Structure 1
Amino acid sequence: MKKILVAGALALALSGCASQQPEAPFTLTLAHINDTHSHFDPSDVPLTLDGRRVYTRLGGFPRLLSQANSLREQATLADQPLLFVHGGGAWQGSGYFQLNQGAMNADLLGRLGLDAMVLGDPEFALDNRRLAVFIDSVGVPVLAANLNTEREPVLQGAANLYPYVLYAFDGNDKERLASMEDAGRDPVVAVFGLVPEALGELGANTGGLRFEHEVETAQRTVDALRAQGVKHIVALTHLGLERDQRLASRVNGIDLIVGGRSESLLGDFASLGLGKQPPYAQQVTNPDGRAKTCVVQAGHFGQAMGRVSVTFSRDGRVTRCEGGNTLLADGEFYRDVRRADSHRLSAAEQQRLNEVVAADPRITVVAEDAELRRHIDEQYQPALNAAYGTVIGHVPATLSHGLPERDGSQSELAPLVAASQLYWVNTPEVRAVTGRRADLALVAASAVGTALEPGELKQGKVRQELLPGATPLSLVSVTGRDLAGLLLETINGALADDLRAAAFPYTAGLRYQFDETRKGAGFLRTLEVRQGAQWVRVDPNASYTVVMNADQASGKDGWHTLYQTQQVLTDRIDLARVNGRLTAFPVARLSKGQDGTQVHYINQPLNCGAGGVRCDTEVEAFIDYVQERRPLLSPLADTGITLNRW
């Protein structure tokens, strides 16, 4: 039988079976997390405490479980209703996911004792078959009211995938209901889920799934639930804070939105060094001008847990909504991210910070659940340590990655990747093989796979997440004129269209100022190459040796100029290791074939799949650069890129 999860199907569900609900006011507490992204271990985070910068560890699933159990105990003692929910974004994000994909998430999420979770776009990162296995094995009701599975056989029969779930409460006693017919006079809370409606356009692995309109689905769902007699309705979404607020302003009848995706740590955490975001538990007026919807979200990586208390009037309207996010700390504080004994605070300093934390409701010290910690350490951590290898350096603060924004922010990682390539190809060992010296490096935004979080940086993080794909580095000569053309091509394309944003060029040894005159169009005001200690204007007729990865050197990701300049003749060299020995593979020219760009080598072709051949010189360059030049990996003082947006 076909299973359709759109809210239109709700109208068929038990219309006319509304129960007589109690008239007394009702207060519900929700504990919530979102965007945990497979961060099962705690995260190293720099904080400001008592006016000083210190490093501690926040979150991790054993600590989340301890906090959830503590809230459950408090609710039991007070005989108060409590739900624990997840706002989606559980997948991706760590080496654990790279190794275990959805399986470890299913195991550990099930151990948290969640009452519901919503699907987010990360959960569609693999394929529908593996998503179906996750849904059926996680042991937590998985919600997605606007997900239509009618044309996707793999998910059509997913028994644990619902548009909504119902919970009846008798004080702290909670019962999941099959329908409102079973409610009696106990207050009932409905929790429904919404996934991003744009997933059908953005997700490459969604198969026959269809994603229905968020606002329309939400209103139909609420109307159907109200018709059944449900007075208390929670939306569990993975849309982002802005779209949650929009949803609240366009839909009547949602009492609380528990969100995810934008990873918003709502509240003022500026004095702790984590910034200030919109207030927690904002209330947004519904389109009817009377009712209000409370909106909450709890940051990312399980570093914090939100707790919101909602009180309803006798007719089911929200009269009070309050709470906050609480950072979950391990209680150990260091002056350096490397956390060596020499970086420990003195006993007096430690005691002082413990007192500061105890007095601050935004942060608390929580011990890890010992059983869950042991389970992770025994079942999963050995494989992670084996796959990710040794520590090559430390990251003191998050290194971001993305396109330059209008506020001037840029990727902090891509310039470091470019710097590593320029450094490495100019080392004596590599120059002995190539016989050449590179003038500059170019890196496409697409070449960098992830941001880097504070803490240890292991080889496997670079190899499997930061620079995945085992891509060789290439050296190729480019004229100043073609270099300017390449930059204009990639910058204009990236700024014009989000789908071409991956082409954006980051640099080392080169700097430019680009003036945007309209969307997708602009000019290079300055273009300079570094020569010794000086910056010199690029000569259109001069030839420059450029290092980049082989994908970009072949014109992929919109770098078409490089393909065009190599169709007839090129002096390009690709670099790989053969039986451990660094080897240069000279290229004659490029052409187009049925499988895309074809690289024609002069002598022996480079076959990255052959035995004894390692093509990941891009990874090797970054690892060597960190170990030899920047073991404390921080952003470069100057990226060389200035964008003047129109």
Structure 2
Amino acid sequence: MNKKLLAVAIALGVVGCNGSDSDTQDRPIKTELKLSIAHINDTHSSFDEVKSSFVNDYLLNGQPVYTSFGGHPRLLEAANVYREQAETENQSMLFLHGGDAWQGSAYFKINKGKMNADILSQMGLDAMAMGNHEFDLDNQTLAEFLNAVNFPVLGANMDVSADADLSGANNLLPYTLFAFDGFEKEQVTLETMPYDRPIVAVVGMVLEDMPSISPETGDVQFMGEIETAQKVVNELQEHGIDKIVLLTHLGLSRDVRIAENVDGIDVIVGGHSHTLMGDFTNLGMGDNAEYAQIVTTPNGGETCIVQAGEKAQAIGHANVHFDENGHITSCEGGNTLLSSDTFYDNNLRDDDSLLTSSDQQQVESFISQEKNIEITAEDEQLRSHIDEVYKPELEEAYGENISYLPEDIVHERRPNDGGTDEHGSGVAPIVAEGWLNWANSDAVIDVLPYSHVDIALVGAGGVRNTLEFGDLREGHISLELLPFSNYMSVLQVKGSVIKDLLNSTITTSLDDSEHMGKFPYTAGLRYVFNEDVIHTSGSFEVLDVLDTEGNWVALDESATYTITTTNYNANGNDEWTALYEAQSASADRYDIVIKENVADIYPVVRVEKNGDSLKAIYSDNEPDCDDSTISCNTDALSVIDYIAQEHPVLEKLENPTVTLNLLDR
């Protein structure tokens, strides 16, 4: 089989076996294996360290310690430590990436996938899962990335045979095999694998509903996760391969679902839900699901699940022991936050904020005794490479100052997570207010057939980061916070559609292991939602709309409201299904770009669904974002204008519109 063609032939079991089922000759040796797995996921172009803080009641009188975590030079340094340890002990090792290397920082906005290919190829990765954000640009750019990396990118439930760009791409495989001789390993295929060494299969699994999350999937077809996983496992087992790692970008809840429904998977290394698995209450970060979670499979076997957070802040490490029949007898380890050795007592992070030498020693002593945080140096060569090749252009791209933040404004997708209260993100409401303000500005409302826009709705996943203390420049919004270059949509829907949308996305998000990008934030509408059955259901206590006189009144399900959101969410992507259903027959909607410095509208007549792909159908042409006279990123431009005009000093908004009351966990 042509290794360049990622098709479902293997998953469907049409590849012949090496001999009959009774033939035990040409099969890998059955032997015990101790495997070290270092893993990362959802690194999102976080090549530099990420500002953060931690707190412990018994450290510095319970005051927060401000520092920075991660970045790719620290990830590489930590991975090299695991490699050196494995080599010293002559232990087999894999270094895996759970997908979503793309997006997330200004580096990506400027360099597309080229910097990602460059930096990731210096990390020593053995394989990476295909993430949804790898489809954010176009398949030609994705193919260029695939052709440039020095490791396989995996997705067994993808068929790219009909896609002109990806069908010939290098390094795109359903799975890959590794033959081990202690620490030494060789990447092999079914045809070339030796029979005197243990073989480990690493199988990729991507979102079966990828087109509903990433519209730019071209002619790629996606198959069911559970069905494909079982078929691929069966095929591998028929070839005598009984040590199987599933490398996924599905989210923890789907990883658990696969483990509960598929036999033969030993370890799942995941991504997508950004879950920093393990108990981090010692750092004030919560208990986020057990690391190396063991799930019982249908036939009574066991699957071990791991995941390592987000934004290159932590690295996971699991030690897995297989018996001679390929069953795991132990799977243990944990995630480690990779900390800088510089600590501050406040978020100013200037010389006056540096800890005193005695406090510094106390913090270092504390960290040395904790298993889930470690002071880690940066790999010097990779740090220098980033600074010399990529940093200068980055600094130039940020543009003018538009505001000043006296303190961080935190973004968290779901309220109550990440140390937030029941109102959650402080950033998403600012985005919502910016969109609503812009949609009601004379420049926009004058080109629309509406007199007023009532509500702005923001999907939490479209807002990418916390806004940090200090000067706020244009690029902090357009390159980091809202990097997807979506254009704004204004449409009319019934109140019942809005309620259905909110209810479905909030209810789904009650499951702690769900992907929280769908969670809705608002402007012009406020709600209080109370969880009634843990992880399962809840109800609205308050659901109000702000009328044109500034009064809060109950949402009228029979009334028509004018709302604004991005074209991505307006189409119903990321499980905003209610908006798709409301527009499937006909739409009262206009998408808005800036053409030659003037708002320009594109009427949408309906939204079509083809499989999981959702597409707006326009009455005439759709916006041409390749036209140099057109600016399509009105999602970011609107917020830049709003902040520059209304908030010379930007602080968290006083009156939260979102309240989510969760039951105790």
The residue identity in structure 2 corresponding to 1:321 is C
Whole-angstrom distance in 2 between the partners of 1:72 and 1:203: 35
Number of residue equivalences: 588
Whole-angstrom distance in 2 between the partners of 1:642 and 1:458: 30
Q: Deviations over 1:310-364 (max 9, x none)?
A: 1111222111111111111112111223311222111111111011011111010
Whole-angstrom distance in 1 between the partners of 2:123 and 2:260: 32
Return the match for 1:267 from 278, 283, 290: 278
Whole-angstrom distance in 2 between the partners of 1:302 and 1:122: 15
Partner of 1:157: 168
Partner of 1:242: 253
Please state how far the C-alpha of 1:637 moved relative to its aligned partner: 4.4
Whole-angstrom distance in 1 between the partners of 2:134 and 2:13: 24
For the 8 Å contact 1:401–1:412, the answer to whether it is kept is: no
Once the two structures are superposed, the pairs formed by residues 79-478 of structure 1 within 5 Å of their partners are 79-179=90-190, 181-289=192-300, 291-389=301-399, 392-394=403-405, 396=408, 398-401=410-413, 409=423, 411-419=425-433, 442-445=455-458, 449-453=462-466, 455=468, 457-466=472-481
Residue 54 in structure 1 maps to residue 65 in structure 2: yes
Whole-angstrom distance in 2 between the partners of 1:577 and 1:77: 61
Give 5+ residue unaligned stretches, structure 2: 444-450, 509-516, 532-536, 573-578, 607-616, 622-626
Normalising by structure 2, we get a TM-score of 0.75
Whole-angstrom distance in 2 between the partners of 1:495 and 1:166: 44
Whole-angstrom distance in 1 between the partners of 2:544 and 2:190: 67
Residue 618 in structure 1 maps to residue 620 in structure 2: no
Residue 638 in structure 1 maps to residue 655 in structure 2: yes
Please state how far the C-alpha of 1:591 moved relative to its aligned partner: 11
Whole-angstrom distance in 2 between the partners of 1:308 and 1:29: 6
Residue 11 in structure 1 maps to residue 15 in structure 2: yes
Whole-angstrom distance in 2 between the partners of 1:294 and 1:339: 40
Residue 44 in structure 1 maps to residue 51 in structure 2: yes
For the 8 Å contact 1:128–1:155, the answer to whether it is kept is: yes
Partner of 1:507: 523
Moved more, 208-217 or 114-123: 208-217
Q: Deviations over 1:232-254 (max 9, x none)?
A: 11111111111111111111111
Whole-angstrom distance in 1 between the partners of 2:178 and 2:102: 26
Give 5+ residue unaligned stretches, structure 1: 431-437, 475-481, 541-545, 568-573, 599-606
Whole-angstrom distance in 1 between the partners of 2:282 and 2:620: 52
Please state how far the C-alpha of 1:275 moved relative to its aligned partner: 1.4
Please state how far the C-alpha of 1:396 moved relative to its aligned partner: 2.6
Q: Deviations over 1:29-76 (max 9, x none)?
A: 100001111111111112114232122111111111111111111111
Q: CA RMSD in A?
A: 4.8
Whole-angstrom distance in 1 between the partners of 2:391 and 2:604: 46
Whole-angstrom distance in 1 between the partners of 2:336 and 2:464: 24
Go from structure 1 to structure 2 and tell me whether the alpha carbon gap of 1:502 and 1:609 turns closer, same or farther (over 3 Å shift).
farther
Go from structure 1 to structure 2 and tell me whether the alpha carbon gap of 1:525 and 1:241 turns closer, same or farther (over 3 Å shift).
closer
Whole-angstrom distance in 2 between the partners of 1:503 and 1:218: 29
For the 8 Å contact 2:521–2:658, the answer to whether it is kept is: no
Whole-angstrom distance in 2 between the partners of 1:591 and 1:105: 35
For the 8 Å contact 1:144–1:163, the answer to whether it is kept is: yes
Go from structure 1 to structure 2 and tell me whether the alpha carbon gap of 1:617 and 1:261 turns closer, same or farther (over 3 Å shift).
closer
For the 8 Å contact 2:46–2:104, the answer to whether it is kept is: yes
The residue identity in structure 1 corresponding to 2:427 is L
Q: Deviations over 1:91-124 (max 9, x none)?
A: 1111111111111111111110101111111111
Normalising by structure 1, we get a TM-score of 0.77
Higher helix share: 1
Partner of 1:571: none
Whole-angstrom distance in 1 between the partners of 2:269 and 2:334: 12
Whole-angstrom distance in 2 between the partners of 1:423 and 1:263: 31
Q: Deviations over 1:276-331 (max 9, x none)?
A: 11111121111112x21111111111111111011111222111111111111112
For the 8 Å contact 1:80–1:171, the answer to whether it is kept is: yes
Please state how far the C-alpha of 1:14 moved relative to its aligned partner: 3.9
Please state how far the C-alpha of 1:257 moved relative to its aligned partner: 0.8
Whole-angstrom distance in 2 between the partners of 1:489 and 1:609: 35
Go from structure 1 to structure 2 and tell me whether the alpha carbon gap of 1:377 and 1:401 turns closer, same or farther (over 3 Å shift).
same
The residue identity in structure 2 corresponding to 1:45 is S
Please state how far the C-alpha of 1:489 moved relative to its aligned partner: 5.3
Whole-angstrom distance in 1 between the partners of 2:222 and 2:435: 42
Please state how far the C-alpha of 1:539 moved relative to its aligned partner: 14
Partner of 1:78: 89
Go from structure 1 to structure 2 and tell me whether the alpha carbon gap of 1:28 and 1:426 turns closer, same or farther (over 3 Å shift).
closer
Go from structure 1 to structure 2 and tell me whether the alpha carbon gap of 1:137 and 1:13 turns closer, same or farther (over 3 Å shift).
farther
Whole-angstrom distance in 1 between the partners of 2:392 and 2:646: 25
For the 8 Å contact 1:491–1:505, the answer to whether it is kept is: no
The residue identity in structure 2 corresponding to 1:373 is R
Whole-angstrom distance in 2 between the partners of 1:351 and 1:340: 19
Partner of 2:613: none
Partner secondary structure for residue 71 of structure 1: helix
Go from structure 1 to structure 2 and tell me whether the alpha carbon gap of 1:162 and 1:595 turns closer, same or farther (over 3 Å shift).
closer
Go from structure 1 to structure 2 and tell me whether the alpha carbon gap of 1:75 and 1:10 turns closer, same or farther (over 3 Å shift).
farther
For the 8 Å contact 1:268–1:278, the answer to whether it is kept is: yes
Go from structure 1 to structure 2 and tell me whether the alpha carbon gap of 1:56 and 1:626 turns closer, same or farther (over 3 Å shift).
farther
Please state how far the C-alpha of 1:643 moved relative to its aligned partner: 8.1
Go from structure 1 to structure 2 and tell me whether the alpha carbon gap of 1:388 and 1:14 turns closer, same or farther (over 3 Å shift).
farther
Return the match for 1:490 from 498, 501, 519: 498
Partner of 2:37: 30
Partner of 2:448: none
Go from structure 1 to structure 2 and tell me whether the alpha carbon gap of 1:40 and 1:8 turns closer, same or farther (over 3 Å shift).
same
Q: Deviations over 1:379-437 (max 9, x none)?
A: 111111111236644563631357999x965553332235568999999xx9xxxxxxx
Whole-angstrom distance in 1 between the partners of 2:340 and 2:172: 35
Q: Deviations over 1:611-637 (max 9, x none)?
A: 9xx99862344433686232xx44x34
Whole-angstrom distance in 2 between the partners of 1:144 and 1:286: 22
For the 8 Å contact 2:423–2:658, the answer to whether it is kept is: no
Please state how far the C-alpha of 1:493 moved relative to its aligned partner: 4.5
For the 8 Å contact 1:106–1:134, the answer to whether it is kept is: yes
Whole-angstrom distance in 2 between the partners of 1:411 and 1:386: 29
For the 8 Å contact 1:325–1:362, the answer to whether it is kept is: yes
Q: Between Structure 1 and Structure 2, whose CA radius of gyration is higher?
A: 1
Once the two structures are superposed, the pairs formed by residues 590-601 of structure 1 within 5 Å of their partners are 595-596=618-619
Go from structure 1 to structure 2 and tell me whether the alpha carbon gap of 1:32 and 1:470 turns closer, same or farther (over 3 Å shift).
closer
For the 8 Å contact 1:490–1:503, the answer to whether it is kept is: no
For the 8 Å contact 1:117–1:141, the answer to whether it is kept is: yes
Partner secondary structure for residue 83 of structure 1: strand
Go from structure 1 to structure 2 and tell me whether the alpha carbon gap of 1:626 and 1:340 turns closer, same or farther (over 3 Å shift).
farther
Go from structure 1 to structure 2 and tell me whether the alpha carbon gap of 1:492 and 1:236 turns closer, same or farther (over 3 Å shift).
closer
